[in-house]
Amino acid sequence: MQMREQAAVPPSELPLRPQDEAECRRCEVHCDKVVYPGACLERNCPFLYSFEECGHTYVGCMQRVYDAHIDFDLLRAAESGRSGFGALRATGPPLPLCRAEVEPCYESRLEELGCVNPEFHELPVGEPSFRVIARIAS
């Protein structure tokens, strides 16, 4: 029986806007963006929709920031508790009004040089993260 060697997987190129991705798998630490649907209620998000089915009201996100339909009564009940409803894995880039965080897994695998994709951790704040203060004329 001969052993087959697996071909080395070439490192993937960094995308143009890594902060718009929902997950990062560029190193051994796996990071996901998560959002808190309870904040949608609290902030009166205009992209929160609802529908009724089988006698229950369900809510979801029109922008597909998360891809779940949540029982509205259960969401409200959980949000009134001490720990709240909790987070859902983001399936799309969070909007500036979303309460979003980056959740790393396997943090013990972090290399000496740190994160290879630090831009992924930038969350939208509604404005650019830099400001032009001077222009040089040629």
Residue 55, CB half-sphere, CA atoms under 13 Å: how many?
0
Q: Is the pTM of this model over 0.85?
A: no
> Which pLDDT does position 18 carry in this prediction?
67
Q: For residues 123-134, give the mean pLDDT.
A: 57
Expressed as residue numbers, the domain containing 75 is 18-111
Confirm if 102 and 79 have CB atoms less than 8 A apart. Answer: no
Length of the chain: 138
Q: Is residue 45 part of a domain?
A: yes
Nearest in space to 119 (alpha carbons), one of 26, 9, 36, 10: 26
Q: Per the structure, how many domains does the chain have?
A: 1
> Which pLDDT does position 126 carry in this prediction?
55
Distance separating alpha carbons of residues 133 and 94, to the nearest angstrom: 28
